[in-house]
Amino acid sequence: MRKLRSIFRLMAIIVIIGVCLPPLWAEDNPKIDINTASAEELAQLKGIGQKKAAVIVEFRETNGPFLLPEDLLKVPGIGPKTFEANKDRITVEIE
C-alpha cells in the first residue's frame, strides 16, 4: 500500500510539472511579431544582431508587412538556418 501511494504521489508531481512548466517556458521566449517588432526586439532572435534587425525593419517599411513567417527569408542576410532557429519564436499579425 505504501509503495502504491509513493507511485501515486510521483505521478501527481509529474502531472503538475507537466502542466506548470510549459507556460513558464513560454514567458522566457515570447513570440515576436516581425510586422510590429522594433529593431531591439528583433535583435533578441538567434543570429539576428542590431544590423540584421535594422535591415528587417527597413525591408518591412519598404515592402510592406510580412504575410507569412517564411517571408522573413526574403530579407537580405536572412537564410534558412536563421529562419529555422527562430521559426517557433516569430509570428505574423496582419492588421
On whether the CB atoms of residues 76 and 63 are closer than 8 A, the answer is no
What's the pLDDT score for residue 66?
A: 96
pLDDT at 25: 54
> Counting beta carbons within 10 angstroms of the beta carbon of residue 33, is it exposed (0 to 12), middle (13 to 18) or buried (19 or more)?
middle
What pLDDT is attached to residue 61?
96
pLDDT value of position 27: 54
- How does pLDDT run across 4-29, given as a tens digit for each residue? 787 878 777 877 777 666 655 555 66
> Which pLDDT belongs to residue 18?
72
User: pLDDT tens digit string along 50-80?
Assistant: 999 999 999 999 999 999 999 999 999 999 9
